[in-house]
Amino acid sequence: MLPDVRAELGALLFRRVAGPDGRATRARIHDTPGPRWFAPDRPIRVVHGDAAMFAGGLSALLLQSLHPLAMAAVAAHSGYRGDPWGRLQRTSAFLAVTTYGTAEDAQAAVDQVRGIHERVRGTTRDGQPYHAADPHLLGWVHAAETEVFLRAHQRYGAHPLDPAGYDAYVADTARVAEALGVTDPPRDRQALSARLNAYRPELRLTPEARAAARFLLLDPPLPLPVRPLYGALAAAGVTLLPSWARTLLRLPRVPFVEDFTVRPAGHLLTRTIRWAMSPPPHSN
């Protein structure tokens, strides 16, 4: 019975994240021979392959929403409300192919995304122009997601890295960021922190960011029976945000609840996801 539960839960989670063609996509990414951007021992493979990314992904979306131009582009062009699972699946496929796929496939994925970014243009509700291919906006998106992916792995990862390992993770992500068009991405945690601080004067909670946070935290596209589990995961994602970002998002810290309820629940959920999505040990 237990292996059946494990297999069913793992398959359900995999379908949500990878989509109906996920198995074929995974086989192509991992089994196609050829050189890779990242060797098997690189930190980016450790971080992006861990179940902590479930909480980190939610946190990244919340943090990224605070840049008015980036959020305006997402609200107008991404279709995250109409097709949230499709967007998740496309994002996870991009992370997987650039992290684990062949160099040829990784570059093809980057070229496809750059082509999409080039076409995404518009103006915010107060008349500011935006262009998704703008290196400055791309730099914000990259720095925000790198920060919270790192934080998520530090807190919930199965095998947290040492300080040098996390510096190397930031350096690894810079390889992908440069390919996407980011100018001089940070290559260690100190530079990453400085880059995030440099963006802070540009950040604010716009109506689009409020709507995105409400969708992610209060009205996810999930059946009612699983919403409490998602809520616990979302709460864990909120606790990963920098304190200044929580202030902007109006998500105050509740020390007792977070320390004695949210964090333990986050650890339990992450371990459960990791257990469900890992192959069971071979029986003797």
Identity of the amino acid at 143? A
Tens digits of residue pLDDT in 251-283: 988 888 898 899 999 999 999 999 888 765 554
Q: What is the mean pLDDT of residues 154-176?
A: 98
3-class secondary structure, 112: helix
Q: Half-sphere exposure of 262 toward its Cβ, with a 13 Å CA cutoff?
A: 18
Which of 17-21, 66-70, 239-243 shows the lowest per-residue confidence on average (mean pLDDT)?
17-21
pLDDT of residue 277: 81
Q: How far apart are CA 146 and CA 101, in angstroms?
A: 19
130 Rama class: left (phi>0) / alpha (psi -120 to 50) / beta:
beta
First-to-last alpha carbon distance for the chain, in angstroms, is 18
Q: How far apart are CA 71 and CA 245, in angstroms?
A: 15
pLDDT of residue 48: 97
Higher pLDDT, 113 or 254: 113
Q: Half-sphere exposure of 172 toward its Cβ, with a 13 Å CA cutoff?
A: 27
pLDDT of residue 283: 42
Which of 45-59, 71-85, 104-118 shows the lowest per-residue confidence on average (mean pLDDT)?
71-85
Helix, strand, coil percent content, the chain, rounded in steps of 5: 70, 5, 25
3-class secondary structure, 78: coil
pLDDT at residue 117 greater than cutoff 80? yes
Please report, rounded to a whole number, the percentage of residues in the chain having pLDDT higher than 90. Answer: 75
